[in-house]
Amino acid sequence: MKILVVGSGGREHALAWKISQSALVDEVYCAPGNPGMDLIGPCFDVDPCDLTKMQELVLQLSPDLVVIGPEAPLAVGLADALRARGFDVFGPSEKAAQLESSKAFSKDLMTKYDVPTAAYGRFDDLTKALDFLETMDAPYVIKADGLAAGKGVVICETLEEAENEVEAMMTGKFGEASAEIVIEEFMEGEEASIFVLTDGEGAIYLPAAQDHKRAFDGDKGPNTGGMGAYAPAPVVTPRLMELIQALIVEPMLSGMAEDDMPYQGVLYVGIMITEDGPKVVEFNARFGDPECQVLMAGLPGDIVPALLTCATGGLVHGHREISDMMGLRDFRPSATVVMATNGYPDSYPKGSIIRGIEQANALEDVIVFQAGTDGDSDGALIASGGRVLGVTATGSDLEQAITQAYAGVDVIDWPNGFHRTDIGWRALNESG
């Protein structure tokens, strides 16, 4: 079988790595890929959002399955375009991907299906938005409706700050993406990420993961795409997982199927564990990154039957067998420490040399996934992005996985990078 992985981040490197281990797979292609993915299979330098070029590539390669990693191509309809040409695709349609690409759409669906989430209002009129703000209490949560590269959510402590933010967003701060906004109630609690593989009807729940969004230790500093992750997250108890399934995932999947937009792919449910139970912070239409890295590393079995069945249907009947093939019950605790370029998430220089990846990969249970990397003209590996490496390890328990991931970080020689030293602290506190 030939599988094309679309994307170029740590998430896609982890997917390509896991897929390449399947006995069902002869070849993994990547578009556009990165230097780490290049070691797994041929990479094709095509922009995933260029639907014409992507269709040409897929017609040329004729893969048995296309796995779409990032949200941007899903939001412009790449899955629909490829399905219309008869290809099997892991990833939701443009319509279903609005769960991520429009916060207002997603909030309206949650209301319709009675799924617990923060109270909210959606606005395309500045005066009405400002009036609504006055009815809310601090802190104020203000969200751009559209995709804003993970920067579209702002939490303001005072009414004045909130008014300024609403005005900035609605007058073009994120262009079209913030012409409409959502203002919502602040939810107090601990966050976790739930990943559900689905063909629109059946569902397989992966172990809950936890991300670390802030740049620095102790959850300080600016928000980032994610500085590290671990799974399973002990805060999501089996009882809580049952509630999440019954109150959130099942009504969303059945409601969307009834409303003629069945969700196929991975549904990422960002939850807040509040005093009143789990509530949805957001949905995403893809795997989280770095969460995907810990999930792929921790699954001992074959992920391909699951990905394929999500694309073609049949999960209701097949889910037990497919979960067993994935080795879901034997999931190994795993952790990822992200190494980012000094300066990230603000501006940062490109081109610094990274050494020691082979040495890190040679350590037991360690795998380094690449994200913002490139090769220079001498063949050296250089940093070309904000988040650059995801040093990932498994262990017999979380503590061992975390220790081993840091052992990997220690042998990487990259003076221009930084990382958090406290990945997994919540889980270690809870178990210790």
**Binding partner selected for residue 141 from ligand GLY, ligand AMP, none, CB under the kind-specific 5 to 8 Å limit:** ligand AMP
Identify which range of 25-33, 287-295, 332-340, 350-358 contacts ligand GLY by CB under 6 A.
287-295
Q: 261 vs 338, which CB is nearer to ligand GLY?
A: 338
In contact, 128 and 178? CB cutoff 8 Å? no
Distance from C-alpha of 367 to C-alpha of 357, rounded to nearest angstrom: 9
Distance from C-alpha of 224 to C-alpha of 234, rounded to nearest angstrom: 23
Find where tokens 């779409």 sit. 68
Which distant-in-sequence residues (6+ apart) come within 8 Å of 230 by Cβ? 209, 210, 294, 333, 334, 335, 336, 398, 401, 402, 423, 424, 427
Using CB under 6 A as the binding rule, whether residue 180 contacts ligand GLY is answered as no
The CB-of-368 to ligand AMP minimum distance in angstroms stands at: 26
The CB-of-259 to ligand AMP minimum distance in angstroms stands at: 22
Q: 165 vs 211, which CB is nearer to ligand GLY?
A: 211
When binding is defined by CB under 6 A, the residue of 165, 184, 291, 365 that contacts ligand GLY is 291
**Binding partner selected for residue 187 from ligand GLY, ligand AMP, none, CB under the kind-specific 5 to 8 Å limit:** ligand AMP
Considering only CA atoms, which of 282, 286, 109, 278 is closest in space to residue 197?
286
Task: Provide Rg for the chain, Cα atoms.
Answer: 21
**CA distances, 431 to each of 209, 233, 234, 402, 425 (Å):** 15, 11, 8, 14, 10
Find where tokens 């890295």 sit. 293
Q: 270 vs 277, which CB is nearer to ligand AMP?
A: 270
In contact, 282 and 272? CB cutoff 8 Å? no
**If binding means CB under 6 A, how many residues of this protein chain bind ligand AMP?**
11
**Binding partner selected for residue 153 from ligand GLY, ligand AMP, none, CB under the kind-specific 5 to 8 Å limit:** ligand AMP
Considering only CA atoms, which of 410, 372, 415 is closest in space to residue 391?
410
Displacement of CA 140 from its chain's centroid (Å)? 25
Q: Which residue number is nearest to ligand GLY in terms of Cβ?
A: 226
Q: Quick one: tokens of 318?
A: 């097949």
The footprint of ligand GLY on residues 192-211 (CB under 6 A) is 211
167-200 exposure pattern, b = at least 16 Cβ within 10 A, e = fewer: eebbeebbeebbebbbbbeebebebbbbbbbbbb
Using CB under 6 A as the binding rule, whether residue 165 contacts ligand GLY is answered as no
**Binding partner selected for residue 203 from ligand GLY, ligand AMP, none, CB under the kind-specific 5 to 8 Å limit:** none
Site mask for ligand GLY (CB under 6 A), range 223-242, x = bound: --xx----------------
DSSP state of 24: T
The CB-of-270 to ligand GLY minimum distance in angstroms stands at: 8
Identify which range of 61-69, 165-173, 283-291, 400-408 contacts ligand GLY by CB under 6 A.
283-291
Q: 78 vs 281, which CB is nearer to ligand GLY?
A: 281
When binding is defined by CB under 6 A, the residue of 12, 289, 302, 365 that contacts ligand GLY is 289
Q: 19 vs 183, which CB is nearer to ligand AMP?
A: 183
Displacement of CA 296 from its chain's centroid (Å)? 12
Using CB under 6 A as the binding rule, whether residue 12 contacts ligand GLY is answered as no
Using CB under 6 A as the binding rule, whether residue 168 contacts ligand AMP is answered as no
Identify which range of 103-111, 181-189, 252-260, 282-290 contacts ligand GLY by CB under 6 A.
282-290
In contact, 73 and 52? CB cutoff 8 Å? no
**CA distances, 190 to each of 187, 206, 224, 274 (Å):** 9, 19, 18, 7
Q: 138 vs 362, which CB is nearer to ligand AMP?
A: 138
When binding is defined by CB under 6 A, the residue of 30, 183, 281, 398 that contacts ligand AMP is 281
Q: Quick one: tokens of 166?
A: 């609403």
Q: 161 vs 191, which CB is nearer to ligand AMP?
A: 191
**Binding partner selected for residue 226 from ligand GLY, ligand AMP, none, CB under the kind-specific 5 to 8 Å limit:** ligand GLY
When binding is defined by CB under 6 A, the residue of 270, 277, 313, 327 that contacts ligand AMP is 270
Considering only CA atoms, which of 394, 391, 352 is closest in space to residue 369?
391
Q: Quick one: tokens of 388?
A: 């650059």
When binding is defined by CB under 6 A, the residue of 191, 250, 399, 422 that contacts ligand AMP is 191
Residues that bind ligand GLY (CB under 6 A): 211, 225-226, 284, 288-289, 291
- Where does this chain bind ligand AMP (CB under 6 A)? 118, 141, 153, 184, 186-187, 191, 213, 270, 281-282
